[in-house]
Amino acid sequence: MNAQEVTLGIDFGTSNSAAGVIRGGKAHLIEVEPGETTLPTAFFFDFDRRETLIGHAAGAALIEGREGRYMRALKRVLGTSLMHEKRQILNERLTFVEIIGRFLERLRLAAEAELGVEVRRVLSGRPVHFHESDPARDDKAEADLRLAYEAAGFSEVSFMAEPEAAAIAGGPPERGLGLVVDIGGGTSDFSLYEAGQGGVTILANHGVRIGGTDFDRAVSFERVMPLLGRGGMLRREMGEGLLEAPTAIYADLATWEKIPFLYTPQSKRMVKDMRVLAEAPRPFERLEEVLESELGHDIAFAVEAGKIAANGEAGQGAAELGFIEPGLAAGIDAAALGEILAPFAAQIGEAAAETLRMAGVGPEAVTRVTYVGGSSLLAQVSETMREALPEAEHVFSEVFTAVAEGLAIAADRRD
């Protein structure tokens, strides 16, 4: 094997990432951390130790309460104006292109260390649409990601739709058509495919900007943010009467990729003013504590854990918020989760139906539905798809690694 023969398949995900190649005729996932083939797409910039942590180490530093800045869901920044703005990170001024590039470089270096060769070519997964309602921004998002790969040391970069890669990994159905339902952290993507010569033939790809981080945001906004003052009433500064507290800060605090931008003097002053004017000040005191101690990502992780528990067999979960106030928690049960996620499930069902319409086929033609992505494990997703495609076999693949495996297979075929 030499450098010219190696094209690395990379699934750069909103929540987790993976990389793969073909070894011994089969897809092989790179050990991106000791004993791990997936890497959380996360950074922690440690202010005291002046070091940058990536992956599981980033999450551990946050949980330990180390002083620093945590970042996750960076994929959702692609295509936005934030990508090229320089911001002070430890001793450097960096853009998100450079930050994402360092994450991708970690994957490249892990591959080089394991394979013993230089790796400069990559086949990267991408959503069918980064921004389905804005083609120009969609193109810009891919261009941003290409720049990040180049910053990571790759000289040749190509892309493949993520659900298409998952279809390749899963192989063709024995009869009829297959549908990949890829519900990731930031997007929901679909590929309709059939058996083709030597593999699969893609009939239609479609996607929408809905994913697990949107589910977390909705759960947090509805269940946690009222404990921090959302919906609370404020006295008018001039005149009589009450006003409801502004909701924008709660929407941002519930959104993974926006949390790091809330810890500003301006935000803290606004919350202090809200607390002074509040009819019931205690929730706003909690919000002050969240901003002062930079607990936004702690809340996000607590919500994610509560969501997963509510989706389990017991159907009961909670966002445990004792790090804000002893004993504080926001209950999340299966019924509440279903109600909160119902609008998203409906959009996912409609996007799947649109994929079939694009290919000019009816639901009866689909014989297998393959689920990919961690958020596909939510009951609301599979129930929606079973109702839409009741005759199909519903299969849960290696939901966290199928895309990377498919990219490895596709990259090898291109070589």
Domain ranges of the chain: 3-172+398-414, 215-337
Residue 382 neighbours by CB under 8 Å, 6+ apart: 371, 376, 394
Residues 354 and 162 sit within 8 Å (Cβ to Cβ): no
Residue 299 neighbours by CB under 8 Å, 6+ apart: 220, 224, 253, 290, 319, 321, 324
- Please give the pLDDT value at position 4: 54
The beta strands (E) that lie in 3-144 are given as 7-11, 16-23, 26-29, 39-40, 42-46, 51-54, 68-72, 87-89, 92-94, 121-126
In angstroms, the CA 118 to CA 132 distance is 36
In degrees and rounded to multiples of 5, residue 348 shows phi and psi of -65, -45
Residues 226 and 264 sit within 8 Å (Cβ to Cβ): no
Residues 314 and 332 sit within 8 Å (Cβ to Cβ): no
Does the domain formed by 3-172+398-414 have CATH 3.30.420.40? yes
Per-residue confidence in pLDDT tens, the chain, 415 aa: 444 579 999 999 999 999 999 999 999 999 999 999 999 999 999 999 999 999 999 999 998 989 999 999 999 999 999 999 999 888 899 999 999 999 999 999 999 999 999 999 999 999 999 998 899 999 999 999 999 999 999 999 999 999 999 999 988 777 889 999 999 999 999 999 997 776 789 999 999 999 999 999 999 999 999 999 999 999 998 888 999 999 999 999 999 999 999 999 999 999 999 999 999 999 999 999 999 999 999 999 999 999 999 999 999 999 999 999 999 999 999 999 999 999 999 999 999 999 999 999 999 999 999 999 999 999 999 999 999 999 999 999 888 899 999 999 999 988 7
Helices (H) and strands (E) in the chain, counts: 12, 20
- Please give the pLDDT value at position 175: 80
In angstroms, the CA 198 to CA 137 distance is 35
- Please give the pLDDT value at position 3: 45
pTM, 2 dp: 0.91
In angstroms, the CA 205 to CA 171 distance is 16
